[in-house]
Amino acid sequence: MNLTLTRLDLARLLRDPSTLIFIVLLPALLYIVFGGAAGYGDFPMGKGNVSMFVMINMATYGAVSATTSLAAGSAIEKMQGWGRQLALSGISDAQYVWSKIRLGLIIALMPVTVVYLIGFLMGASAPWESWAISYVVAVLGAGLISLYGLGMGMLIRSDVAVSITSGTIVLFGFIGNVFNPLTETLYNIAQFTPLYGLGVLARWASTEGQTMLSSGTIVEEDLTIAVANLAAWTIIFTALSIVALRRGRER
């Protein structure tokens, strides 16, 4: 039954043009503009080139945007009473959650796959294992960040939560060294922001920890800081979800 729920949810999402535009086409367009068609794309960086660096960043953003928006929407429908309707059909809370997890991973695969295919055609270069590792890290890491969307959906309890979640993910991307090179000061601040750790981990197999500042200076990123960042924000977003859930039950 829960496989059927996943299939129906996926069909519903794919019928909405905004899903394809904002989840798939936007990251692909950003990669084409800032990576594939850029004159500096062939410059070497780590084991790959700058085009590969930008490709991984845009794919990671696309995956995170997809999973957080989906999680926020799922939390809203659960808090607004859809969960009670599902209970009448025999679907347990655990089955509902696993259904949404599967759906989230499927949706996350879409922007990552499209961006990687375009990157392959437009000159992104790195050893095959760098492609594979970065692909998996981007998708699975986005699943952890989806806890942010889940918490926001349960906290705000209205459709505006999806818009707020999507907007703040863009902000996190800008200040987290995902969209564009930062100044040294902003880069130091970025290490405390939600998408920094995932971005570093997704890129690591290709860049070997190298990133570029707005001045053109190449700096070495710290793998330990990246892991600690992702772990800390996962804990924070989990706590947010738990607090929001308890608050919702008290109403």
pLDDT digits (tens, 9 = 90+) for 161-180: 888 998 999 999 999 999 98
pLDDT of residue 230 exceeding 70, the answer is yes
Rg (the chain; Cα; Å): 18
Phi, psi angle pair for 220, to nearest 5°? -95, 125
**Closest listed residue to residue 143, CA positions, set 174, 97, 177:** 97
Residue 27 · residue 62 · CB < 8 Å: yes
| pLDDT average, residue stretch 71-94 | 64
Indicate whether 99 pLDDT > 90.
no
DSSP category for residue 183 = -
Buried b (16+ CB within 10 A) or exposed e, 89-128: eebeeeebeebbbbbbbbbbbbbbbbbbebbeebbbbbee
Domain locations along the chain: 1-248
pTM of the predicted model, to two decimals?
Answer: 0.88
d(CA 145, CA 72): 11
pLDDT at 209: 92
Say yes or no to pLDDT of 147 above 80. Answer: yes
Average pLDDT estimate for 173-199: 95
Q: With bands split at pLDDT 50, 70 and 90, how would you rate the model's confidence at 93? A: low
Please determine, for residue 201, whether its predicted confidence score (pLDDT) is greater than 60.
yes
Please name every residue paired with 48 in a beta bridge, in sequence order, or none if there are none: 45
* Mean pLDDT value across residues 21-45: 85
